[in-house]
Amino acid sequence: MAVNRAMIQAEGVEKAFGSTVALGGVDLAVDAGQVLAVLGRNGAGKTTFVRILATLLAPDAGRIQIAGVDVVNDAKTVRSLIGLAGQFAAVDETLSGRENLVMVGRLYGLPRREARARASEVLERLGLSDAGDRLVRTYSGGMRRRLDLGASLVGHPLVLIMDEPSTGLDPRSRIELWSLIDDFVEAGTTLLLTTQYLEEADRLADRVAVIERGSLIAEGSPDELKQRIGGDVLEVRATRPADIERLVGLLSGLGTGQPVADKRSQSVTLPTSDRVQTLLAAARRIEESGIPVADLGVRRPSLDDVFLTLTGASADRSRPEAHLRPVPGEPVPAAEPEAQRARA
């Protein structure tokens, strides 16, 4: 085995479901002990990639190896090397936490005594020792997720695969989960996780791979990625929808990229590397123009900003439905007559 061999090595992975291309040739490499976050929106192909990696789905083309073992040709060996925590807490509600873990340990091939010892060890590590003998149906959502994560650790995996680990968790449980993940990583486990949240990728990952419509559109450390976005984002929210175009014109040339309009939130965003300078300049121009604005500020880039920057401003119109969904409480249609009145 070559010394520099990556722990996870994917080359040209393709998968289509009927005429829908889920993955269009993905190349990825994760070194031992590294954490890679695969960042993407719903339907970007993250879960398909994870399912192929975890031997649940066969790719149409390409090759993936884990620790040098091919996930298609030698799936059984791969399964003894990985731990998978899927999108759901896949634990049995009518078994106790301990029973769930012992069963998984036995299915990994551990003898009964060893499986029991391992279950206690994992429960301890997850802070579930006291709840270990209670039925899982009495657990909170956060506890279930932790137990599910525990199930993926029972077999001492070399590679841990987590599909959207914090989706559906409340903020406190999410932070608890993150610190648990920190512990595993410190212990040397290689981790590949998928997420929709830039914040999560930023917090946990050494490297981030951005995936969109089945293709890798960027890869790098969180810092490198933010560099490409230009650091921060200036956001102006218009009081009247009619002013959006004027604001775009007003702000162009100020930041590190082109201003982008979002009609749904009546706002214009602009990537910037110098938050103070850009903010002052923008404020001055807006004041001179006399355009009323509801909000003006600089914030850290969100996942949407990453996509907007990486896929170009044209993505604004073709953004998937998830983004165009009207937000309850935001009077999008009602804003039109209001604007008419204001002009009159």
Count residues near other proteins (CB under 8 A).
43
Q: How far is the CB of 6 from other proteins (least distance, A)?
A: 11
Nearer to other proteins, 147 or 293 (CB): 147
Helix (H) or strand (E) segment spanning residue 25: strand 20-30
Q: Which of 9, 55, 194, 269 binds other proteins (CB under 8 A)?
A: 55
Site for other proteins contains 113 (CB under 8 A) = no
In order of 116, 166, 218, 276, 277, the CA distances from 301 in angstroms are 46, 20, 16, 15, 17
Site for other proteins contains 107 (CB under 8 A) = yes
Nearer to other proteins, 103 or 281 (CB): 103
Nearer to other proteins, 101 or 244 (CB): 101
Cα–Cα distance measured from residue 165 to residue 194, given in angstroms and rounded to the nearest whole number: 8
157-196 positions binding other proteins, by CB under 8 A: 158
Task: Provide CB contacts within 8 A for 89, sequence distance 6+.
Answer: 141, 144, 145, 147, 148
Q: How far is the CB of 51 from other proteins (least distance, A)?
A: 8
Q: By rule CB under 8 A, what string of x and - marks binding of each residue 6-45 to other proteins?
A: -x------------------------xx------------
Q: How far is the CB of 17 from other proteins (least distance, A)?
A: 12
124-163 positions binding other proteins, by CB under 8 A: 135, 151, 155, 158
Cα–Cα distance measured from residue 313 to residue 320, given in angstroms and rounded to the nearest whole number: 14
Nearer to other proteins, 192 or 251 (CB): 192
Nearest to 289 by CA among 297, 299, 281, 300: 281
Nearer to other proteins, 34 or 269 (CB): 34
Q: How far is the CB of 67 from other proteins (least distance, A)?
A: 4
Site for other proteins contains 327 (CB under 8 A) = no
Site for other proteins contains 89 (CB under 8 A) = yes
Q: How far is the CB of 84 from other proteins (least distance, A)?
A: 4
Nearer to other proteins, 80 or 340 (CB): 80
Q: By rule CB under 8 A, what string of x and - marks binding of each residue 217-236 to other proteins?
A: --------------------
Cα–Cα distance measured from residue 197 to residue 200, given in angstroms and rounded to the nearest whole number: 5
Cα–Cα distance measured from residue 260 to residue 315, given in angstroms and rounded to the nearest whole number: 10
Q: How far is the CB of 41 from other proteins (least distance, A)?
A: 21
Q: Which of 67, 282, 291, 308 binds other proteins (CB under 8 A)?
A: 67
Nearest to 45 by CA among 222, 219, 204, 216: 216
What is the DSSP secondary structure assignment for residue 135, as one 8-state letter? B
Nearest to 252 by CA among 199, 313, 211: 313
User: Where along the sequence are the contacts to other proteins (CB under 8 A)?
Assistant: 1-5, 7, 32-33, 51, 54-57, 67-69, 76-77, 79-82, 84, 86-92, 94-95, 99, 103-104, 106-109, 135, 151, 155, 158
